[in-house]
Structures are given as C-alpha cells and as structure tokens.
A = this chain, B = another copy of it.
C-alpha cells in the first residue's frame, strides 16, 4: 500500500474534471491517440496532453508512443481504486444500518406485544 491516500487523491481529482471524464468515456470504447482525444474536447493539443498526463499519473490510463503518435488506453487500476474505496465505505454504512435494524427488531420482540 504505497501512498494509498495520495493515490486516492489523484484518482478522484482526475475524475473531477468533465474533460477528463470525457477522455475516460472515449477510452472505454477503445484506445485513441492524444489528437483524437483532444478533438471533441474543443481545446488545444497541449491542454489535452496535460489531461492525459494527469490521468496517467493517477493510474486511469496508460500510453505508449509509436512513431510520432501516442496511443492511450484505459487502465482499470485507477478506476478500481476509487470504486473499491466507495464500495468499502458503503458496506460499512449498510452493515451499521443492518445492526441498527436488528437492534430495533430485538427491542420490539422483547417488549410488550409481538404481532404474529
């Protein structure tokens, strides 16, 4: 667990930008070059590249340069990190609600009247 917190920071931060989520959506349909990613975003290549770099540092994509084009591909590690953190908090919360529910049920059957 190398800098788990920092990685979470980076992934959530990366996904907080609509342009970067747009890149992820595009990549979820298959690999693409930086230019292809830049085009629908209505921004310069330089800006798109910066987004790609942010996503790469956060583990959401990987890229290789072949000739003069850099091809980007989705990497699940980043998304998984975020998904697991969320799932884990959600689980704790629901488990707590279950215990609460159980407790209330117990008190009810322990009390004066119990239906059926």
Count residues on chain A whose CB falls below 8 Å from chain B CBs.
30
Among the interface residues A16, A17, A18, A27, which one has the most CB atoms of the partner chain B within 10 A? A16
Q: How far is the CB of A38 from chain B (nearest CB, A)?
A: 19
Interface residues of A in 69-94 (CB under 8 A from B): 74, 76, 79-80, 82-83, 85-87, 89-90, 92-93
Question: Does the CB pair A89–B5 fall under 8 Å?
Answer: no
- The verdict on A49 contacting chain B, using a C-beta distance below 8 Å, is no
Task: Please report which residues of chain A, range 1-31, place their CB below 8 angstroms from some CB of chain B when the two chains form the complex.
Answer: 5, 8-9, 12-13, 15-18, 21, 24-25, 27-30
Q: Are B92 and A83 in contact (CB under 8 A)?
A: no
A17, A80, A82, A86 — most chain B CB neighbours (10 Å): A86
Give chain B nearest CB distance to A101 CB in angstroms.
14
A16 to B8, CA, bound (A): 7
Q: Is the beta-carbon distance between B17 and A16 smaller than 8 angstroms?
A: no
Chain B residues whose C-beta falls within 8 Å of the C-beta of A90 in the assembled complex = 28, 76, 79-80, 83
